[in-house]
Each structure stands twice: as C-alpha cells, then as structure tokens.
Amino acid sequence: MTTALRIRDLASAVRSKNAGIYYITFDIMFDDWESYRLVRDANVITRESVAALYGIPQDQVVTVVNHDPGQGIKVTILRRQSSGSPGDPDVLGCQQHAPLYDIEVRADGATVSPGVRGS
C-alpha cells in the first residue's frame, strides 16, 4: 500500500494572486529539492489537471511552468471575469489557490489524479 501525499503537505507555500485584469497566477513553492522533484516528476500539475480542478476549459490554462532553479511551479489561468468588474468575487485573486492543496502525489512518485484519494 503506497501513501499519497498532498501538495499542502509537500509545498512550503501555495498562493494565488492577480496577474493583470484578465489572469490569476498560482505559485507552488518547495523548501527542498526532493519534494519539488517528487511533484514535478509525478506530472500531477498539468493544463488538464488544472482545468479539471477549476472547472475551466484547457485553453484557459495559459501556462504551467516547472522552475527548477526556484524549486517552484507557476500556473496562470484566465479569470472567469475581469478583475474589478461587477460581480468579481476576488479582485486581487488571492483566494483562489485552495483547490491546489488537495492534489495528491503517491510517495513512490506515481501519478494520482487530482481530487482522487490515493490508497
């Protein structure tokens, strides 16, 4: 039986922020190379997985970048509506990162689908 680890247990910081009026960017940062490499190599943070997690079309996931020197992963998505427009629930985009917390990676590095609890 292999243990699944969640991003919230592996990352030192997970945050979201406004990246202009049409984008939100997410930073997933790690304090150690092993945790970063485990998540990077498991390939659990992809356009497909982010789109599924946020309920958006894949073409609205603008970038997913693994940044080895910084031990971090950056994801940028199109906002559902422009920042500050009527009905915008989060002008600064800083409350959008929580769904990323539950992405799971098996301790052996095998891929686990986002939102699926590993065995």
In this prediction, residue 110 carries a pLDDT of 61
Which whole-number Å values give the CA distances from 38 to 2, 24, 74, 81, 114, in the listed order? 14, 25, 16, 34, 15
Summary mean pLDDT of the chain:
90
Q: Mean of the pLDDT values across residues 71-80?
A: 96
User: Is the model's pLDDT at 116 over the cut of 50?
Assistant: no
> Can you name the residues that pair with 105 across neighbouring β-strands?
5, 111
Across-strand partners of 112?
none
Buried b or exposed e, range 1-34, using 16+ CB within 10 angstroms: eeebbbbeebbeebebebbeeebbbbbbbbeeee
Does the pTM exceed 0.75?
yes
Residue by residue, DSSP assigns 50-61 as HHHHHT--GGGE
Cα–Cα distance for residue pair 85/79, rounded to 1 Å? 11
Q: What is the pLDDT of residue 5?
A: 93
Domain boundaries, the chain: 4-106
pLDDT one-digit tens code per residue, 17-55: 999 999 999 999 999 999 999 999 999 999 999 999 999
The answer to whether 83 and 7 have CB atoms below 8 angstroms apart is: no
Tokens of 106: 């098996």
Which CATH number does 4-106 carry?
A: 3.30.70
CB 75 within 8 A of CB 54: no
